Structure 1
Amino acid sequence: MAIASAQQAPHSDVVIVGKEGWLFPAWGSLSEVDTTGVQAATALIAETQQALAARGVRLEVLVLPDKVTFYEDRLPEGRVVSDAVRKRYDVILGSLQAAGVDALDARKVLADTRAAGKDVFYRSDQHWTQPAADAVADAVAARIKQKVPVLAGEPGTGMALGSETRERRYGDLAELFLDPAARSAVGRDTFVVRRAAEGQSLLDDGKAPVHVTGHSMVQAYFGFPQKLSNAIDRPVTVNWKSGNVGPWVVLLDYLESADFRDNPPQVLVWQMFEPVYGFGPSAQGQWDNASIMSNAQWQQRLHKALGH
């Protein structure tokens, strides 16, 4: 009865309240795929890959799949995922491959994780679980070690993984976007996160052979950068901002920084998100106003930051 009340209660139109209190962000379409936007984004990514390669930096593109494609059965009655959206991740990977950008199929990694009986997203939150982050980190690490067999730095400098702890709280979709009554009806989730091992902390800057840039999925709280550091046995640096900023500005923030200038990595992991992949730098109404710029402005800043 409580969950039914949550589904009927007034709530933000940016959240879909599904069965058993499952919440989904509504900023990705369930029915349509902007293939033109996908191709335009891929062209910018391919240009970035080439520009970074000229500086001796390998780009590792990490497109994380949409939560709804794993839990379509938890959508409310009458809401369905179209065939086009079910194939959207394939369209994205295909466009990258055609542009010469070899990217991990993170959807398959998460599908294997879920097939092993582990949830890959939290019920009332847009973020991935610790098992999902770990599995993708291991897969990215394997790619890095294959493509860059000699990483700078010393063995034994990767992060030791701390013990896991559990936190009972509202997920971000419930906390940020539901009214109090609907939030209470959905209830709290249990988040499993790792404590930092004694004497260990992630680097925001400094010398590391691998840097991760993206949105909140790759923040330390969810464990991806720590697991990646552990798996490659080297330090990893990271910068991220919330998803409403968009991946385009987050990348520029890093490339325009003194840290990149003074300590360029061998590998740059650029994390993106399937539902908004086709939103380019100029996507009005999708990113916050300060993040909006034309594709040409973004390209100009990219090449200036890389010294071209």
Structure 2
Amino acid sequence: MRSMVRAAALRGLESLVDRLGGDGAELLRRFRVPRGALDAEDAVIPSVTAGRLLETAAAELGCPDLGLRLAEQQNADVLGPLAVAIENSQTMGDALDCASRFLFVHSPALTVTLVPDPQGIPGVRGLRYGSTEPVPLPPQAIDLGLGLLHRIITLLYGGRYGLHSVHLPHAPLAPVSRYTEFFGADVRFGRDAAVLRLPAAFVDTPLQGGNEMLRAIAVEFLEGHFPEPGRLVAPRVRAALSQSLGSAQVRVDAVARLLQLNPRTLQRYLAAEGTTFEAVLDDVRRQTAHRLIIHTDLPFSQVAAMLGFAEQSGLTRAVRRWYGRPPREVRRRGDARLGTT
């Protein structure tokens, strides 16, 4: 199953590519990223596509610090609803806890975790940025992700926050001075993970201007509208469709209401699971059609109605697409293997 990320993670890339002498719109088209997706709140793209976009742009434009450049022009807004909860936290620890707990809203594959200092120095903690995927994040994606994390913390803190040093798992993509200038601290390469090394007391730092009520509303929204990691939506959609097929409208908004989700949220999480509402519906119809055509003598007009097709012609087209032959021939052959094709 492909992991997904909100397209907003690359917000600003198109204009950055243009400023560097490339064609940002053409680059996005090449990777089949819909026009306007980077500025949309609900658009998602495969994580691997995001990584390849960054690597390709950096290579073609001769811009090895592309990830850092993109991080420089982004802020917490690219995180969508999670940004409201983070920016209205009472302390830096609350903000980091919120980011760690709900980063899956931005991408189920990404993680931000407070860890012991990788160098074992007392009074120092590590803030680790990584992925749950078996394949490591591409270097440009790591530079962008850790760079954005550093920038968000700097903006929340109001300036330098006592960063001791930075660990990166890859070799320097640009001159080391570019990294130290960006982070304002020593940067060490070829380490086990991407980590910001922070003072342990940093988590107790109060944040100015936070609104506890807004944070509570944002957290309640995140808890109520976004499934937790590992809680798959596709099986719930399949079950809802199996129960309502033929007796209720097979529309995404109707199923979303049954599952107490916003339709856009439902679509986003199906995309994060590598599928779509239409694909799940089509598969449920295919399985149900197989059972009704092979194991009953119901008229095809009734089968069509039970599958939610407005007309029998819709059933005929679908069966031809699934099995390469019309319903009547499928029934005549009675090929049980068709149910698993």
Above 0.5 in TM-score? no
Structure 1 length-normalised TM: 0.27
Q: TM-score, normalised by structure 2?
A: 0.25
Higher relative contact order (CA 8 A, sep 6+): 1
Query: Higher helix share goes to which structure?
Result: 2
Larger radius of gyration: 2
